[in-house]
C-alpha cells in the first residue's frame, strides 16, 4: 500500500474542510439549535417523567447527529469532482483506486470526527458534563467509527450517482430515519416491537449508545457490543465502497 498517497489524499480533505469556514459554522448551527431548543425545552418534561437530566441524555445523540451529517454528505465531493474533472486527474495517478478511496474516506471521517469534538465542546458550554474524562478516549474511538462508517456509505452511494440532486434526495431519505430511530432523541425502551427491531438494525443506534456509555455511563446495549457491531458494519461498507469506487468510469 502506498501510504504516502493515502496521507496526501487524507490531508487534502482536511485542507478543504478548514478552508470552508462558512461550512464549519453552518454545520454547527443545527446541533447547537437542537441542544438549546430540545435540551431546555423538553428537559422539564423528561425530568418529571423520572428520566433524569435530558441534556445529559440528548448530548451524545446530537454529537452523533453532527458526525452523521458531516460524514455521509462528504460523498458530495466525489460527485462534485466528477462533474468538474478533478476526480479524473486523481484516478489517472499511478496509485490504486483502493488507496484513493481509503485516503478520501479517512479524510472525510477525520473531518466528521473533528466536527463531533467541537459539538462536545459546545455541549459542555451549555451545561453538559462528561461522566468520566478517563473514558473520553473511548468516546473518540466511537466518534471515529461512526464517522468512518457513514463516510464509507456516502462514498459508496456517490460512486454510482452522477448528479448532486439524486445524491441529496437519497441521503435525505436515509439520514433522517438513521437519526430519529437511533435513540438520539428518546430512549429505546418500551417501543412497539416493529420500531424496536428497526432501531436495533440501525447502525447509528450502536454509535449513539457507545457515545452515551462513554460520555454519561448509561449504555443500553453494552460498549463491547456497540464496538463490534460498528466495526463489522464499517468493514463491510468499506469493502462495498471500494468495489463501487473501483467501477467509476472516467
Task: Convert the pLDDT of each residue in 203-228 to its tens digit.
Answer: 999 999 999 999 998 888 899 999 99
Residue 140's pLDDT is 94
Band of pLDDT at residue 36, cut at 50, 70 and 90: confident
Residue 169's pLDDT is 79
Task: Convert the pLDDT of each residue in 80-105 to its tens digit.
Answer: 777 766 666 666 666 777 777 888 88
Domain that holds residue 91: 3-246
In whole angstroms, give the CA distance from residue 52 to residue 54. 6
85 or 76, greater pLDDT: 76
In whole angstroms, give the CA distance from residue 150 to residue 237. 8
Band of pLDDT at residue 1, cut at 50, 70 and 90: low
Residue 230's pLDDT is 94
Checking if the pLDDT of 3 tops 70, the result is no
The DSSP-derived string for the chain is: --HHHHHHHHHHHHHHHHH-HHHHHHHHHHHHHHHHHHHHHSHHHHHHTT---HHHHHHHHHHHHHHHHHHHGGGHHHHHHHHHTHHHHHHTSSS-HHHHHHHHHHHHHHHHHHHHHHHHHHHHHTT---S-GGGHHHHHHHHHHHHHHHHHHHHHHHHT---HHHHHHHHHHHHHHHHHTTTSSS-SSS--HHHHHHHHH-HHHHHHHHHHHHHHS--SS-HHHHHHHHHHHHHHHHHHHHHHHHT---
Q: How many folded domains does the chain comprise?
A: 1
Burial of 192 (0-12, 13-18, 19+ CB in 10 A): exposed
Residue 47's pLDDT is 73
Residues of the chain above pLDDT 90, percent:
25
User: Considering the entire predicted model, what is its pTM?
Assistant: 0.89
Residue 106's pLDDT is 87
52 or 26, greater pLDDT: 52
Residue 148's pLDDT is 92
HSE toward the beta carbon, residue 213, CA cutoff 13 A: 19
Task: Convert the pLDDT of each residue in 169-206 to its tens digit.
Answer: 777 788 888 998 898 888 888 778 888 898 899 999 99
- Listed in sequence order, the residues at least 6 apart from 143 whose beta carbon sits closer than 8 Å to its beta carbon are 63, 67, 112, 113, 116, 117, 211
Cell output for 159: 460512486
Amino acid at each position: 500500500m502506498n501510504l504516502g498517497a493515502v496521507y496526501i489524499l487524507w490531508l487534502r480533505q482536511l485542507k478543504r474542510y478548514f478552508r470552508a469556514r462558512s461550512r464549519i459554522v453552518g454545520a454547527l448551527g443545527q446541533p447547537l439549535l437542537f441542544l438549546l431548543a430540545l435540551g431546555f425545552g423538553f428537559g422539564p418534561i423528561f425530568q418529571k417523567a423520572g428520566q433524569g437530566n435530558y441534556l445529559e441524555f440528548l448530548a451524545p445523540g446530537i454529537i452523533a447527529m453532527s458526525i452523521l451529517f458531516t460524514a455521509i454528505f462528504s460523498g458530495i465531493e466525489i460527485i462534485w469532482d466528477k462533474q468538474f474533472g478533478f476526480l479524473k486527474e486523481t484516478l489517472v495517478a499511478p496509485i490504486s483506486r483502493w488507496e484513493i478511496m481509503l485516503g478520501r474516506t479517512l479524510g472525510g471521517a477525520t473531518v466528521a470526527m473533528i466536527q463531533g469534538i467541537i459539538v462536545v465542546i459546545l455541549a459542555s458550554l451549555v451545561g453538559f458534563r462528561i461522566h468520566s474524562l478517563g473514558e473520553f478516549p473511548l468516546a473518540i474511538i466511537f466518534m471515529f467509527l461512526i464517522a468512518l462508517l457513514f463516510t464509507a456509505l456516502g462514498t459508496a452511494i456517490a460512486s454510482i450517482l452522477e448528479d448532486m440532486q439524486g445524491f441529496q434526495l437519497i441521503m435525505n431519505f436515509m439520514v433522517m430515519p438513521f437519526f430519529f430511530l437511533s435513540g438520539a432523541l428518546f430512549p429505546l425502551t418500551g417501543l412497539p416491537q416493529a420500531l424496536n427491531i428497526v432501531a436495533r438494525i440501525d447502525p447509528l443506534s450502536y454509535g449513539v449508545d457507545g457515545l452515551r456509555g462513554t460520555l454519561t455511563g448509561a449504555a443500553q446495549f453494552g460498549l463491547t457490543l456497540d464496538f463490534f457491531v460498528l466495526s463489522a458494519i464499517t468493514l463491510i461498507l468499506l469493502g462495498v465502497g471500494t468495489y463501487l469506487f473501483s467501477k467509476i468510469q472516467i
